Amino acid sequence: MKGYEILFNASPDAMIKIDMEQIILEANPSFEELFLYGKKEIAGKHIDDVLRWNQGERLKVLSNTRKVLGGKVFHDRGVRKDKNGNEYHVMITGIPIVDQGICRGAFLIYRNVNRETRALRELNQQKVIFEALFKNSSDAIVLFDENHLILDINDHFTSLFGYTVDEIKGWNLDHAITIQKTLQTSANLTNQLLRGEKVVTEGVRYGKNGNPVEVQIKGVPIVDGKKVIGGYGIYTDISDRKRIEKEILYVSYHDALTGLYNRRFMDAELERLNTKRNHPISFIMGDVNGLKLTNDVFGHQAGDDLLKKVASVLRKACREDELIARIGGDEFLIVLPKTTKEMAEVVVDRIQRLMANMSFQDMSISISFGYDMKEDPAERLEELYKHVEDLMYKQKLEDGQSLKKKMFDTIVGKLHNSHPEEKEHGDKVAYYSEKIGQSLGFNQKRLDRLVLTAKLHDVGKISLAEETLKHHWRETVHMYPEIDSKQWKEYAKHMEAGYRIFNNITKLADLSEFVLYHHERFDGLGYPRGIKGNSIPLEARIIAVANEADLFRREFSGQYSEGELHKKLMVAVGDLAGSILDPALVEIFEDAMNHSKDFK
């Protein structure tokens, strides 16, 4: 029993041995340290006189005591108090002492879990008790002699490494669960332990089928007198912890959206790369054009999808040793060791060719690039970074508005191709708006911009789902201006989407408010802001009149002759004066239409 006495006394867990009458026979040093009792204070005392618990635990304590003295192992949690009344949350294990089939007493083991977080960081934990503890430990434990030969293993060792005791007994420990490559390292650890030194480390050990297992390893020497006669190897499976650590490391250094490296990784890596053997070194920095417009029109999920598509192109265009990172919302950095500026230009051309064959939401994908190299290791990489960034922003300024205008035209074309009725509606609203603007004496520039806005006032509908867009909301909204349907709220967002689309184009930005407010009502019951009267911009009020006129035209079309249609339309629009529409503009519209020779 010598080895097990060593385990009992060396254990970091508090342990006591009790008899069938629950009298304490023996306590280990960890028990005395945790509960502040000396050996003489507790020897021969009933356990209830030493350890106190909260009243609510009484039934559970009695049940566990009956269980362990009935010959069964139990595991439980509870609160126990030390000599001074301080409470400790503990994990409790009860292990019966069985002799020739008869229970003679039990070991009670208390693990202080107030320090559980710190304990989990320890490389290994000793689960040391008599043979019952050895067999029931949740760690894999092997007992070996001074010649490194295995004498015994516990059940968890079998679970972890696949060997039964009959298969592995008598084997050299270092050869049993180690491969040739790390054999000497393993043997050195065993020799260290057999010199009387404790071993605490981490490593990989191999099971019966050659499967690697990441483990914490702790070695405890068994000393008889002054001679080391063997030891315990305790292996804790840390595969899950290592996996989590790798995942945390991955998340720390990778962009969650694209899977590319992130700015943090690149900042750390640049220092490592700035060596002579990596020069010349080139940087390519790219900024995705139109990301904000994509987010504004199609939503942030679409913007995320665009960034992921760009990331896939960058991966395809680069070699494995070229580092790619997403360093900002729409910015990417490619670091190319041992690469000249001319070679970097080849990579940029390759990316652009790949982009030319791809589209997103029917729009071409575009990136503005800046790139350059440095040859002198003494030159700071930060200077190259800043220079390339400046080149990229300069290129983005040159590309910016033309690319945004191209995207704008694509968006308009996509809406009109998918919904020709929207183009017809826009043309009619522009026609009516032009008539009102002419009557108000707008100069040609202001008139042209009014007509353009009116023609595209519903461009924000490109952001709507088909299910939402197909509904005809006009009549319902006029009857119930405070309607609160989810689908209606989605539909009503098209003005804000149109506002953002116009606002992205510098030359159209000042027209964006006319788009935003064209569904405001003169009485203040409109949307999206509920402003009223002359607080609504004039052009927005004009478009509102023209919009209602065309909606009535489409509603009455085919029901009346041309002359009757004209009269019906004038009456219908007139009925909205003062509530939905500006009455002064309604009057101007009616007068303009009554005197128009080409009324449509």
497-547 tens-digit pLDDT: 888 888 877 788 888 899 999 989 999 988 888 999 999 999 999 999 999
470-496 tens-digit pLDDT: 665 554 444 444 445 666 777 777 888
Q: Determine the pLDDT at residue 540.
A: 93
Q: Which residues have a Cβ under 8 Å from the Cβ of 151 and sit 6 or more positions away?
A: 143, 144, 145, 169, 230
pLDDT confidence tier of residue 130, bands split at 50, 70 and 90: low
Spatial distance between the Cα atoms of 247 and 137, rounded to a whole number of angstroms = 29
Nearest to 382 by CA among 260, 285, 270: 270
At 457, list the tokens: 């006032």
Average pLDDT, the chain: 85
> In this model, does residue 406 exceed pLDDT 90?
no
Q: Determine the pLDDT at residue 2.
A: 59
Is the Cβ–Cβ distance between 77 and 89 less than 8 Å? yes
Spatial distance between the Cα atoms of 94 and 17, rounded to a whole number of angstroms = 10
For the chain, percent of residues with pLDDT exceeding 70? 91
Q: Determine the pLDDT at residue 380.
A: 83
Residue 432 CA: distances (Å) to CA of 390, 465, 475, 589: 48, 28, 20, 8
Which of these ranges, 54-58, 141-145, 237-241, has the smallest mean pLDDT? Answer: 54-58
pLDDT confidence tier of residue 3, bands split at 50, 70 and 90: low
Residue 55 CA: distances (Å) to CA of 34, 58, 87: 21, 6, 13
> Strands 281-288 and 199-206: what pairing?
unpaired
Distance between alpha carbon 495 and the CA centroid of its chain, in Å?
Answer: 32
At 264, list the tokens: 């943090």
pLDDT confidence tier of residue 268, bands split at 50, 70 and 90: confident
Q: Determine the pLDDT at residue 481.
A: 47
Mean pLDDT across 169-185: 90
pLDDT confidence tier of residue 49, bands split at 50, 70 and 90: confident
pLDDT confidence tier of residue 363, bands split at 50, 70 and 90: confident
Of residues 160 and 125, more confidence is placed in 160
Q: Determine the pLDDT at residue 597.
A: 55
> Strands 323-326 and 261-262: what pairing?
parallel
Q: Three-state SS for 498?
A: helix
Of residues 550 and 125, more confidence is placed in 550
3-state secondary structure 505-521: CHHHHHHHHHHHCCCCC
Look-up of token digits 């750390």: 268
* Strand positions, DSSP E, 402-478: none
Is the Cβ–Cβ distance between 549 and 577 less than 8 Å? no
Nearest to 34 by CA among 113, 148, 121, 106: 113
Q: What is the pTM for the complete model shown?
A: 0.55
Q: Which residues have a Cβ under 8 Å from the Cβ of 195 and sit 6 or more positions away?
A: 228
> In this model, does residue 39 exceed pLDDT 70?
yes
Residues 366, 372, 377, 383: what is their CA dihedral angle, to the nearest 10 degrees? -80
Q: Three-state SS for 14?
A: strand
Helix (H) or strand (E) holding 295: helix 291-298
Q: Determine the pLDDT at residue 362.
A: 67
Angle between helices 341-356 and 300-317 (to 10 degrees): 130
Q: Which residues have a Cβ under 8 Å from the Cβ of 99 and sit 6 or more positions away?
A: none
Q: Determine the pLDDT at residue 284.
A: 94
> In this model, does residue 296 exceed pLDDT 90?
no
425-447 tens-digit pLDDT: 888 998 999 999 999 999 999 99
Spatial distance between the Cα atoms of 50 and 556, rounded to a whole number of angstroms = 95
3-state secondary structure 219-249: EEEEEECCEEEEEEEEEEECHHHHHHHHHHH
Domains of the chain by start residue, with CATH: 8-118 (3.30.450.20), 138-238 (3.30.450.20), 254-408 (3.30.70.270), 419-594 (1.10.3210.10)
Which of these ranges, 25-34, 136-145, 313-322, 356-365, has the smallest mean pLDDT? Answer: 356-365
At 453, list the tokens: 């806005």
pLDDT confidence tier of residue 23, bands split at 50, 70 and 90: very high
Nearest to 136 by CA among 150, 152, 155: 155
